[in-house]
Chain A
Amino acid sequence: MESRRNPRAVVDPKVRQVGFFTSSQPDSSSTQQQTEPISASASASSPPVSTISPSGNSLSPVMIPPPRLNSSDTFPLRNAAAGATSAVSPSSFSYSNRRDFPDGSTTASPGRHSRGSFVKSSAPVASSLPGIGMDSMAAAKSSSVPASGLTTVSVVTMPPGLAENASGMEVQSDQKKNSKSLKEKTTKAERRAIQEAQRAAKAAAKADGGKVPPGTSASLASTSVKVAKPAKPSTQKNEVAVSAGVTEKKGGPSEKDRKKDAPHPRMQYDDESRVVKAKRRAVVKQTEAKNRVELFRHLPQYEHGTQLPDLEAKFFQLDPMHPAVYKVGLQYLSGDISGGNARCIAMLQAFQDVIKDYSTPPEKNLNRDMTSKISSYVSFLIECRPLSISMGNAIRFVKNRIAKLPITLSESEAKAALQSDIERFINDKIIGADMVIVKHAVTKIRDGDVLLTYGSPTAVEMILLHAHELKKKFRVLVVDSRPKLEGQLLLRRLIKRGISCTYTHINAISYIMHEVTKVFLGASSVLSNGTVYSRVGTACVAMVASAFRVPVLLCCEAYKFHERVQLDSICSNELGDPNAISKVHGREDINYLDGLTNNANLQFLNLMYDATPSDYISMIITDYGMVPPTSVPVIVREYQKEHLLV
């Protein structure tokens, strides 16, 4: 990654402006932060290896990497970049030093060190980083430094850079050995266990703490002592990160990084040992459903209704959980809040409450402590209901903001900043995005149209209501499906506004598709291969529509886009209450399956989502305009950074 990024940054920073790039001018603090994480990653893995890193694909599609000036991984070039950054940054010297300092926390912000608090300790460690250059390249690029400035500066700073590199190599190899031996000794599971233990220890440790984490990590720490004495816990953590192959926080976060920030939504529930472990941690005591579908063993399925009373009873005694989060969790569990946007906003607002009531415990660091708090809340929410992809993105955003809080801010300032950030995310990325989508989509509705929609997508509802306000004459076909029958709610709201509707079930879709002129669908998420992950049945509707040559317009806010790819609806999904299938609400005459629910031969599968192949989608309407599904990866790559920055 470094080598590719390198020339781009130095030689033609302007190319970046071509193509799908929105001008994001990060402030100086973000530039600084950007540089930092690399130090960790670079020290961890040797530079050539790191080309594999996913951040390598941050290359813009329209750009051909220019030929390198000299052999790319020679240090001077990198140092040049390093120099460039330092030239750009106001506090060039301490900055470059700080950059080298291996960061102590896995999740918390790098920025907190940057303001000189660690300058004295950083000197010896500084040398450990041959990779700085790359990072600083990125920094240079994002601040769009003129090329001429770069060259001159690089000349000036070259000698110190060389020196750094020389010593850095040594350290690096040392560390590599460590990590390698670690890898050899431990199995993957063991390593993960180690990592988890260390993370826990870290959360407990103070920012400056010289405490040696317990257990397996002790040996690690001891090896790292000779490398970087003053920052004992932090180097050790670095190595942990290495062993897991995870590059720790970066200003413009690499893909891997982002994945890490977002809580992993997909624990595989067929892995017994992990399930047991997760259960031990769980706040929500869930009874696992016994009679499960073989194909979906990897997904959690619980007996519904068993957890709620228990949790409600505990409402007043559960101190570690913030009441706002607790409330949202219960609402998820009971199904009171559903729908991607509603869930996401509820969660973010709960986090706002959390932040409002937050006070940093003594001897703890706000960034780290709050991140770990949020993480614990998130895992509680996951226990209540698996996160949607959009929520994962939002959580990633929140954590990123926390991580990037400048260390200089006082606690109250930091809290205010975070709250306003979250507010902005809700307003811009969710509510504002919906408004833009409505504006775009309404242009596609003409008089006499017959529009079909499925389920109860909020964006589509807004579009229909807005089009109705514009006095467009159209008819709506509401297609619904069991067991949620959300379409009835939409139907009621549309009828109240005087829109003429036709209601039917999904089975009858081929019957009514003849008269339809456009299909409007919502989505839970759009994945980067163009697959639309949405309410189960969306794929059927889109398929039938495309079989009848009816255009399918998909409305989805861009914050729901995700770089994950998926081919089927099996690998990742959510299972609903199986009993909702055996019992037909409001139809007492349908009772064939009463008393058979515990039969070993009979299972009920209540899938919540399905994956619609991109070839059924004519167009995706998003806040960046109307794009074909093939443009999704472009948006994901080019705008994800912006999401995180807002």
Chain B
Amino acid sequence: MPDVQSMVAEFVNKLRKRKIEGSQATAKCTVELLRSVISHQRVPHANQAAALIDAVKAVGQQLVAANPVELAVGNVVRRVLHIIREEDLSLTTAAMAGLDLLDASDDDDIDNCKGIGYPAMSAAVVAAAARSTLRPPSLQTLLEGTPESATVPYTSSSGADSESKSKSADKSSLTRKLKHDVIEGVNQLIHEISGCHEQIAEQAIEHIHQNEVILTLGSSRTVLEFLCAAKEKKRSFRVFVAEGAPRYQGHLLAKELVARGLQTTVITDSAVFAMISRVNMVIIGAHAVMANGGVIGPVGVNMAALAAKKHAVPFVVLAGSHKLCPLYPHNPEVLLNELRSPSELLDFGEFSDCLDFGAGSGSLQVVNPTFDYVPPNLVSLFITDTGGHNPSYMYRLIADYYSADDLVM
């Protein structure tokens, strides 16, 4: 237990000091941490799911507080909570089904569930009805679901209620099962996060045609993989990279692109408007995608999006599913932003005497934000690891990944 505590503390520290950059890396670290939290969590005999959820929530709150701007942390915590709830639910329903069925077949059933995940279940009807109401009802449930709907109240509220039900199925195998299944699910999530680049890159060929001119901005590994995937399929196209002052991540991206043999042109950020008229598509990697379809991306993205809109150039956002945030943004330019050091913009020595350090003495302020918010009406397309989506569809996509109970942690 203490080692988990120290791990959490260490990670919180890292987040606070902004040592971890990039939402994918952060997401991965978070899941791995949560996995060890879950595996070290001693599960009480009764009410195991609630215990797990509480533990994960507690850690999650610490992590989110450490870096509230890194939305991927919150997203991943919610995903893990969702996994716990799902597994718990499937076990409960399986147990219920097992009660109805023969005891002998019970074990097989649960093995089934574990192997394939949740889709194939013996008590499919019950499970479907019991799952979060966000799930689209199938015709079958609509037809047969009326008598079963009575079960929804107590199963959907998971934890305590379902526990009372499953008490009857107090086999020791079942208690181990939940933790085991949750860890399986978390592993799957890790796999999904680390594989999201490939998933997205696979679609590149459908979006990039021969001789295309693509503008990108900032340094995103997703974009890099996306472009390289198209290049590997023998598409030839050129890429304009805005350098992204003051962090100059564009330089980094350009270097990688050139190393992979792509025709790359580095432009200044100010030339984005001038060049956009000759660009066929703007592709950027998102920092986070909000539930309304708005995008938080590297600073300067909004400018590029406006210019693209003006010239009717498609503005495509690449985002792994861990970047989908279930929150609706309010004033995201300010509230979900982060101001970096002025030293990136100005030589400290030259201007230090006139800088305003909050005491009101100086007359100079320096603004150096990290992120930019693009409203959904400027985005043409999202490409996630599950395919391409409209901005207006994002809320629905998000509903698949998170359960409504966890939106507020």
Contact = CB atoms under 8 A, between A and B. Distances in A.
Interface of A: 293-295, 480-483, 488, 491-492, 495, 498-512, 514, 535-537, 539-540, 543-544, 547, 568-570, 573, 581-582, 584, 586-587, 590, 592-593, 596, 599, 601-607, 610-611, 613
Contact of A504 (B243, B257, B367): B367
Given A293-B265, A506-B269, A584-B245, 4 more contacts: A482-B245, A510-B373, A543-B310, A601-B263
Contacts of B272: 540
A605 B271 contact: yes
Given A505-B269, A539-B274, A540-B273, A593 B367 contact: no
A507 B303 contact: yes
B306 A543 contact: yes
B251 interface: yes
B268 interface: yes
Contact of B363 (A501, A510, A540): A501
A504 B255 contact: no
Most central of A483, A504, A505, A593 by chain B CB within 10 Å: A505
Contacts of B356: 500
A223 to B, nearest CB: 48
B267 interface: yes
Contacts of A540: 269-270, 272-273, 303, 307
Given A510-B333, A540-B307, A592-B254, A481 B365 contact: no
A581 B245 contact: no
Nearest to B260: A601
B66 to A, nearest CB: 23
Given A501-B363, A581-B266, A590 B271 contact: no
Most central of A491, A499, A535 by chain B CB within 10 Å: A491
Nearest to A604: B266
Contacts of A509: 303
B302 A510 contact: yes
B264 A603 contact: yes
A536 B266 contact: no
Interface string B343-364: 0111100110010100000011
11 contacts: A294-B238, A482-B269, A495-B363, A502-B366, A505-B368, A506-B269, A536-B274, A543-B303, A602-B266, A605-B240, A605-B268
Interface residues of B, number: 57
Contacts of B310: 543, 613
Contacts of A592: 248, 251-252, 254-255
A505 B267 contact: no
A259 B373 CA distance: 46
A504 B345 contact: yes
A569 B266 contact: no
A581 B268 contact: yes
Contact of B262 (A505, A596, A601): A601
Contact of A611 (B265, B274, B303): B274
Contacts of B302: 510, 544
A599 B346 CA distance: 31
B259 to A, nearest CB: 9
Interface string B282-306: 0000000000000000011011001
Contacts of B364: 491, 495, 500-503
Contacts of A536: 268, 270-271, 274
A480 to B, nearest CB: 8
A483 B270 CA distance: 10
B367 A512 contact: yes
Contacts of A586: 347
B258 A601 contact: yes
Contacts of B265: 293, 602-605
Contact of B266 (A492, A504, A535, A605): A605
Q: What does DSSP make chain B's interface, helix, strand, loop or mixed? A: mixed
Nearest to A512: B367
A498 B248 contact: no
Contacts of B264: 601-603
Contact of B346 (A503, A508, A573): A503
B302 to A, nearest CB: 4
A481 B270 contact: yes
B244 interface: yes
Q: Which 3 A-B pairs have the closest CB atoms?
A: A537-B270, A507-B300, A569-B274
B269 A511 contact: no
Contacts of A568: 274, 277-278
A500 B356 CA distance: 10
Contact of B303 (A488, A502, A506, A584): A506
A298 to B, nearest CB: 13
B349 to A, nearest CB: 10
Most central of A502, A503, A514 by chain B CB within 10 Å: A503
A499 B368 CA distance: 20
B117 interface: no
Given A581-B243, A601-B261, A593 B363 contact: no
Contacts of A488: 346
Contacts of B252: 592
Contacts of A539: 273-274
Given A507-B245, A536-B268, A596 B258 contact: yes
B86 interface: no
B345 A510 contact: no
B333 A514 contact: yes
B273 A508 contact: no
Contacts of B334: 511, 514
Contacts of B363: 495, 498-501
B345 to A, nearest CB: 6
Most central of A508, A581, A593 by chain B CB within 10 Å: A508
Contacts of A502: 364-367
Interface in B325-353: 333-334, 337, 344-347, 350-351
A569 B268 CA distance: 14
A602 B258 contact: yes
B145 interface: no
Nearest to A615: B310
Nearest to B249: A592
B68 interface: no
A586 B348 CA distance: 11
A296 B184 CA distance: 55
Contacts of B350: 492
Contacts of A610: 270-271, 273-274
B369 interface: yes
A547 B337 contact: no
A506 B372 CA distance: 12
B314 interface: no
A593 B333 contact: no
Nearest to B213: A295
A150 to B, nearest CB: 52
B376 interface: no
A604 to B, nearest CB: 5
A507 B347 CA distance: 18
Contacts of B365: 500-503
A511 B268 contact: no
B155 to A, nearest CB: 47
Contact of B268 (A491, A503, A606): A606
B278 A544 contact: no
Contacts of B333: 510-511, 514
A544 B299 CA distance: 14
A399 B268 CA distance: 38
B255 A593 contact: yes
Contacts of A611: 274
Most central of B238, B273, B344, B366 by chain A CB within 10 Å: B273
